[in-house]
Amino acid sequence: MIKDLRILIVEPSPERVREIVDALSKAGWSDVKAVAQISALERTVRDFAPDIVLIDLANPDRDMLEHISHATETSKRAVALFVDQTDEDLTQAALSAGVSAYVVDGLKMDRIKSVLQTAIARFKMMRQMQSELDAAKQALEDRKTIDRAKGILMRQRNLSEDEAYKLLRKTAMGQNRKVIDVAHALVTAADLLS
């Protein structure tokens, strides 16, 4: 749920950090950390594993943040960025391009909640899309493995394709395992023996 979000603030000014933390806790988010220094950023992103990172658009540490996200496979993370000038077009363009949430009016505290909600919604959508993609890839891999296992059984036991699959399924049910796990075991064993 939204309440569980971990939020990291990258901001050198302690005053501004306090304002943001206040606004976030009023909105119901308390799992918040702030870093000011570039040297602390890398470690904190790895250890704290934030769901959302807030960083000013003008902050040069953004290149480093991108690199860390890239290196730690957390590109699915939403990064909310604050711009200092009022520009509704830019916000819209950025949101539809689908990378970041750009906030108008710099850090207007009354808007922080709605902006973060937008970022979170995007984050969820991206994560959903990513996991669907991962699932599709996995399904494809699984099918390849099962096909190979069937092929082995067809050759070794002289079975038809249908019979081979039935044997896999029967074995899986008998051992209370998934078909794919049995297929994996069979393929591995065959590789070892070949």
CB closer to another protein, 67 vs 143: 67
Sole binder of another protein in the list 2, 49, 99, 136 (CB under 8 A): 99
User: How far is residue 151's CA from residue 159's CA, in Å, rounded to a whole number?
Assistant: 9
CB 93 to another protein: min, Å: 4
Tokens representing residue 28 in the block: 């119901």
Torsion angle defined by CA atoms of residues 65, 69, 72 and 76, in that order, rounded to the nearest 10 degrees: 160
Tokens representing residue 145 in the block: 């493995």
For position 97 contacting another protein by CB under 8 A, the verdict is yes
CB closer to another protein, 44 vs 100: 100
CB closer to another protein, 55 vs 179: 55
Sole binder of another protein in the list 5, 50, 80, 100 (CB under 8 A): 100
For position 68 contacting another protein by CB under 8 A, the verdict is yes
CB 21 to another protein: min, Å: 23
CB closer to another protein, 51 vs 100: 100
Sole binder of another protein in the list 93, 125, 136, 173 (CB under 8 A): 93
CB closer to another protein, 37 vs 117: 37
Binding string, residues 28-67; x marks residues near another protein by CB under 8 A: ----------xx--x--------------xxxxxxxx-xx
CB 5 within 8 A of CB 117: no
Contact residues for another protein, defined by CB under 8 A: 38-39, 42, 57-64, 66-68, 70, 90, 93-94, 97-100
